[in-house]
């Protein structure tokens, strides 16, 4: 079975999570299949190899899962982008809107070097607010967003449009709903 079909069969829908009216796409069943995990990481790595990437930034929490593995596969540092109040050292912060509220994310001030090209990874692209905020953090620290990688794009929430309007790179996703 092709990878995209495998992913669609493994992702489960959870209605009314985390709030009523939200249909949550749960990627955790993907993690139960090591073969699928390897294929996903390889797919992202193949996409990123020609982007001259210096680091991968993974967005908390599910962006850590494949983001860290992608960084290892590419042989580059992993940069954790965390929810507000979770980083212990000097940090910068960026607010953003979610499809079900608002929040802010943070990155350590010394997370990257000036001029680094960084791929932003998260499990799912919804409105694009979180990924856009991560991109702003990277740019604030003097880096450049080399790309975005997502397992899932929820196309009806127009996250791709937001990222295309704000960055020169084309966001990459494996499946779309």
Catalytic positions are 62, 99
DSSP strand pairing (91-98 vs 78-83): unpaired
In degrees, rounded to 5, the angle at the alpha carbon of residue 148 between the alpha carbons of residues 82 and 166 is 95
Question: What torsion, rounded to 10 degrees, do the Cα atoms 9, 33, 29, 107 define?
Answer: -120
Q: Which residues of 160-176 are buried (b: 16+ CB within 10 A; e: fewer)?
A: bebbeeebebebbbbbe
Assess contact for 48 and 147: CB atoms under 8 A. Answer: yes
Within 10 Å of residue 6's Cβ, how many Cβ atoms?
17
Residues 54/63, Cβ–Cβ less than 8 Å: no
CA distance 157 to 134: 18
């Amino acid at each position: 079975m092709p990878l995209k079909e495998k992913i669609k069969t493994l992702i489960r829908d959870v209605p009314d999570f985390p709030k009523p009216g939200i249909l949550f796409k749960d990627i955790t069943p993907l993690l139960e299949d090591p073969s699928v995990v390897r294929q996903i990481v390889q797919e992202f790595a193949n996409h990123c190899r020609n982007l001259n990437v210096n680091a991968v930034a993974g967005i908390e929490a599910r962006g850590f899962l494949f983001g860290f593995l992608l960084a290892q596969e590419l042989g580059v540092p992993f940069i954790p982008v965390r929810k507000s109040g979770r980083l212990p050292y000097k940090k910068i912060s960026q607010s953003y809107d979610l499809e079900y509220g608002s929040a802010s994310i943070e990155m350590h001030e010394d997370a990257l070097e000036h001029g680094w090209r960084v791929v932003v990874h998260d499990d799912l692209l919804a409105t694009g607010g979180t990924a856009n905020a991560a991109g702003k953090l990277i740019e604030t620290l003097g880096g450049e967003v080399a790309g975005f990688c997502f397992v899932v794009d929820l196309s009806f929430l127009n996250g791709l449009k937001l990222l295309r309007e704000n960055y020169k790179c084309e966001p990459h996703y494996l499946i779309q709903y």
